[in-house]
Structure 1
Amino acid sequence: MSTFANSVQPVVVNAYTEALCIDCQHFFNNQLYETFHKLGPEVMDLNIVPFGNARLDEISQTVTCQHGDGECDANSWEQCAVEHAIPRVYMEFFNCLEHALPMGHADDAFPDSVFLGCAAITDDLDDADLQRCHDNPMMWWQLQQKYAKATPEHDYVPWVLVNGKKIDEENDNLLEVICREFQAGGGSAVACDSYSSSSESS
């Protein structure tokens, strides 16, 4: 966790993702998870939106996902986690799923035990609340509508905005991008020291 000297607004990071997506997994494992743990919520106001390239049919109230019904169901579990926990908590749940779920197409939903098992090892995430959220058809549809509306036009996933500005998820260093935004707003964090203007001039 970072320490900081200035009471400034954290940098808003919106990550638009979907389950079973190998590129999303790569970004999560190699950048997002580590960066969040280094910076913490004082520096990084993280919002994960698990919907991605899914499509809603408002008439039939159904969802079609790029990676099949397995993705749609996994997205629903992830949405429920976001609804019921703060980023510090749901990031651990997501981290578990990134290792528990196979990436790629899945015609069928994965067993509930996969998701409840990840919830069980995640501190402060109530697996019963998660199950109720997932199993409630009305709640399910409301969340699909909510996350579809929250997902902007995009060319691919993961689609990541830092203070509203698109970054290159494959080539940009997320930690550096966030640190420079935080410093530009007057913030100071130990994890960002290597990106400070003073360190560059030394």
Structure 2
Amino acid sequence: MASPKLFSLLILTSLLIVCVSCSSFEDQGSKVPPSPKSRKLIEAPSAMPTPPTKAKKVDLTLYYETLCPFCAQFIVNGLSKVFNTDLINIVNLRLVPYGNAHIQGPNSTIVCQHGPDECYLNSIEACAINSYPDATQHFKFIHCIENQTIQGKQSKDEWKSCSQQLGMDPKPVQDCYDSGLEKKLILQYANETAHLDPVHNYVPWVLVNTRPLYESYQNFVPIVCAAYEGSPKPEACKPLPPNINSTAKTS
């Protein structure tokens, strides 16, 4: 029969062997490659989508005169796209009602290409721009007047029916005209038009930022979209190839 000392030695040896085996198993376990799920957790994240970027609005400026038929057509059927789509979100629209008029004599008499009625309506539209600075508001008013021009409605008081249709108070416009402010506004527009570089050759004369579009003015939408440096582009810009078959009309 084994002695107690020998028996204790055998038990101690057995425990030592078991501990060494456990240690070896743990070392091997640490070398097991990570599972596909674990691998996904340590991979670099995929590229994030480009965030929207804001940019300065594109300046879109129209130099025109109120009784010019091509100007009226462009305002009613062309520029209305700015407001009928989301293009207005990237556009700073300016209207300059002076066109081919000129100043005559010591009293700075304004002579208009289509006569006194045009001078009157130029002044009315200048007063509307001054009275209703928001482009969305004064454009509706001017759009209505130019639509009357297309229809041949050119009597002096016809513009007031536009105020009624649109629910706009005509008094600020009438007060502007009666006070003589209209003359100051027109002279400012005359000065601005005279200092265009390059000079305007006809109307409608359209600028995108400072770039004249010449006879391509009807294709202003894709040109505005190309000039806008922000992202994403408005829906109105997708996709819009220039209409190379369009024929520009000028006066």
Q: Shorter-normalised TM-score: what interval? A: 0.7 to 0.9
TM-superposed CA distance for 1:39, in Å, is 3.3
Greater relative contact order (CA < 8 Å, ≥ 6 in sequence): 1
Do residues 129 (structure 1) and 172 (structure 2) align?
yes
Give the alignment partner of residue 175 of structure 1, picking from 221, 235, 245.
Answer: 221
Deviates more, 1:151-160 or 1:166-175: 166-175
Provide the rounded CA distance (Å) in 2 between the counterparts of 1:103 and 1:20. Answer: 11
Provide the rounded CA distance (Å) in 1 between the counterparts of 2:54 and 2:187. Answer: 35
Residues 123 and 183 of structure 2 are in contact (CA less than 8 Å); yes or no, is this contact kept in structure 1? Answer: no
SS at 1:154's partner residue?
A: coil
Count of aligned pairs:
184
Residue correspondence of structure 1 range 156-195 to structure 2 within 5 A: 156-170=202-216, 172-182=218-228, 185-187=229-231, 188-195=233-240
Do residues 115 (structure 1) and 150 (structure 2) align?
no
TM-superposed CA distance for 1:102, in Å, is 5.2
TM-superposed CA distance for 1:141, in Å, is 1.9
Do residues 149 (structure 1) and 191 (structure 2) align?
yes
Closer, same or farther: CA 58–8 of 1 in aligned 2, 3 Å: farther
User: What amino acid is aligned across from residue 160 of structure 2 in structure 1?
Assistant: L
Provide the rounded CA distance (Å) in 2 between the counterparts of 1:159 and 1:26. Answer: 13
Across the aligned residues of Structure 1 and Structure 2, the Cα RMSD in angstroms comes to 2.3
Residues 22 and 103 of structure 1 are in contact (CA less than 8 Å); yes or no, is this contact kept in structure 2? Answer: no
Closer, same or farther: CA 64–129 of 1 in aligned 2, 3 Å: same
SS at 2:63's partner residue?
A: strand
Provide the rounded CA distance (Å) in 1 between the counterparts of 2:206 and 2:147. Answer: 21
Determine the structure 2 residue equivalent to 1:17. 64
TM-superposed CA distance for 1:68, in Å, is 0.2
Normalised to the residue count of structure 1, the TM-score between the two structures is 0.81
Provide the rounded CA distance (Å) in 2 between the counterparts of 1:150 and 1:115. Answer: 25
Residues 65 and 122 of structure 2 are in contact (CA less than 8 Å); yes or no, is this contact kept in structure 1? Answer: yes
> Once the two structures are superposed, what CA deviation does each residue of 1:35-54 show, in whole Å capped at 9, x if it has no partner?
34313442110000000011
Structure 1 ranges of 4+ moved more than 3 A? 168-172
Deviates more, 1:20-29 or 1:156-165: 20-29
Determine the structure 1 residue equivalent to 2:44. none
TM-superposed CA distance for 1:31, in Å, is 1.5
> Once the two structures are superposed, what CA deviation does each residue of 1:56-110 show, in whole Å capped at 9, x if it has no partner?
1361231100000010000000101111121101111111112223589x9xx83
